[in-house]
Structure 1
């Protein structure tokens, strides 16, 4: 199995187009065509993780956080980032990062937090914008069904719990083939009129490559007339953070103690307690201050996240609790999620949960 074959499987779970614009995801180091001897899954790729990969002879590291985030102008070994990249290259170790691509899918980081905390019926807290696209094309009536099925097979036409969705309108198209043309129907130099179907389908932006390949492969015309536009419609299945409910309401302090124990937090920084039972819970792994307003708007009793600054705790405004459990602690189970996923997709393959410690924060 090659690096690319493994990363294709990972991108079925978390397509890279769903990553935030500021992020750096995908294959960061290594040859996509290299054979994989084993997969080491980690939250962060540090030098001790590279050493673990060398010792176990695993040459693909799947990391949640990207080791290369900003631009690298030099590789002299003066920073921990440079040392990791140099050591990985020297030992033919590939590094692949998922980060916000995995944050933004419904089976990702925040779904795992909900699972650990027993949060039921979770829904996306902040839907990602501009994830739905629409294709309009024109095809001879006799070829419309073939093209439509090819687009459906490529992933077009899925809307919520429905599939094979399209809109079709018949009309008359016209064109005149030039001297160098090779028209499917009609004659060079003469205007041709053809009974055509205007075919409209929506699709996820993550599938655009597959959709366009299906369009050009299955359309009978030499020159395909088509339009692709990005819709403002909200996709409730793609986005960051989640909000759901506890099966049984519980006192706020008692719930915080459960969170501390289940998430392995050394401590929880939180806003004022509300002295009421917690039922609706919002979660966002990693730095989640930007989700405070969305969590309040959702009616959540508490937001569980990390990296909250002093003044940001004021934004709770007595309407909910803001709980900072630590960045590492909020995302640590992502490793388990990825190991479980890869083990199911690639059974009987060498897949290892990294044992290296990567949390940079220590507590007194």
Structure 2
């Protein structure tokens, strides 16, 4: 398909207006080619992802996290973003970012995690527009369950695959769980009176104090909550791209490792599929 057709399909599937304000979603690099025949989805672009794309003969990378986020004040080949942009341009690959537009998708980031945790989606935290197939999305997700908090904690640790930070709720029985994958503490005030437990990432120390005896908090880690997005994006693109081959990256992109006094947790062994 042509580049214009490809970009239009992406914009219809992951509407840019559904993304959070200030998020740099959409086209980030436009290749010189007139057509797109193969696509690679990934959580974020690294040198290993670009290597994978070149090896597969990819025409466009659809990334969850934006490669260009902060304004580029200069182009410096020794800096990570410039280097990766230059590699994509030299390989004549387009780059398109979906980030919070995929978060807001009805089958997006939070739905993927809720399904793996065995939680039943109930409603979004912030309602959004309907997609082309009539499903309604939005930011964040309220889910239902009937679990002891310890059982929920075990599920989160098992699914996300990393050490989990938490503070327990006032009551051990959990029936309503709010989920915002990635950095979601900006939604805290919107969920605190409406859920027993809030699962999100990048929670600051003092936020745990604020949550004590108010709402349970579980922080499995940023990458760990979002590690399923590359496969999820690929599944959506396979529904709508009839003339493109869709590949899902198998590269582990998180740079974070974990060390404890008794063991070292190496995140390279976390599944990304």
- Separation in structure 1 between the aligned mates of residue 150 and residue 208 of structure 2, nearest angstrom: 17
Cα displacement string for residues 4-45 of structure 1 (whole angstroms, at most 9, x for unaligned residues)? 323322222220012222111101011486311310000001
State the Cα distance separating 1:284 from its structure 2 match.
0.4
- Separation in structure 1 between the aligned mates of residue 12 and residue 115 of structure 2, nearest angstrom: 21
User: What is the aligned counterpart of 2:144 among 216, 221, 245?
Assistant: 245
Correspondence for 2:108: 108
Report the number of matched residues.
257
Larger Rg, first or second structure (1 or 2): 1
TM-score of the superposed pair, with normalisation by structure 1: 0.66
Cα displacement string for residues 164-213 of structure 1 (whole angstroms, at most 9, x for unaligned residues)? xxxxxxxxxxxxxxxxxxxxxxxxxxxxxxxxxxxxxxxxxxxxxxxxxx
- Separation in structure 2 between the aligned mates of residue 115 and residue 46 of structure 1, nearest angstrom: 28
- Separation in structure 2 between the aligned mates of residue 341 and residue 317 of structure 1, nearest angstrom: 39
CA distance 1:79–1:66, change in 2 (3 Å): same
User: What is the aligned counterpart of 2:185 among 289, 293, 309?
Assistant: 289
Cα displacement string for residues 307-326 of structure 1 (whole angstroms, at most 9, x for unaligned residues)? 00101112213122111111
State the Cα distance separating 1:347 from its structure 2 match.
4.8
Secondary structure of residue in 2 paired with 1:278: strand
Equivalent residues of 1:14, 1:98 under 8 A apart: yes
Which residues in structure 2 correspond to 1:1-364 (within 5 Å)? 1-31=1-31, 34-127=34-127, 237-246=136-145, 249-263=146-160, 265-298=161-194, 300-347=195-242, 349-364=244-259
**Shift >6 Å, 4+ stretches:** none
Unaligned runs of 5+ in 2: 260-273
State the Cα distance separating 1:290 from its structure 2 match.
1.2
Secondary structure of residue in 1 paired with 2:257: coil
Equivalent residues of 2:166, 2:216 under 8 A apart: yes
Cα displacement string for residues 93-139 of structure 1 (whole angstroms, at most 9, x for unaligned residues)? 110001111222333211222222222143111346xx79xxxxxxx
Equivalent residues of 1:44, 1:64 under 8 A apart: yes
Equivalent residues of 1:242, 1:284 under 8 A apart: yes
CA distance 1:8–1:116, change in 2 (3 Å): farther
Secondary structure of residue in 2 paired with 1:308: coil
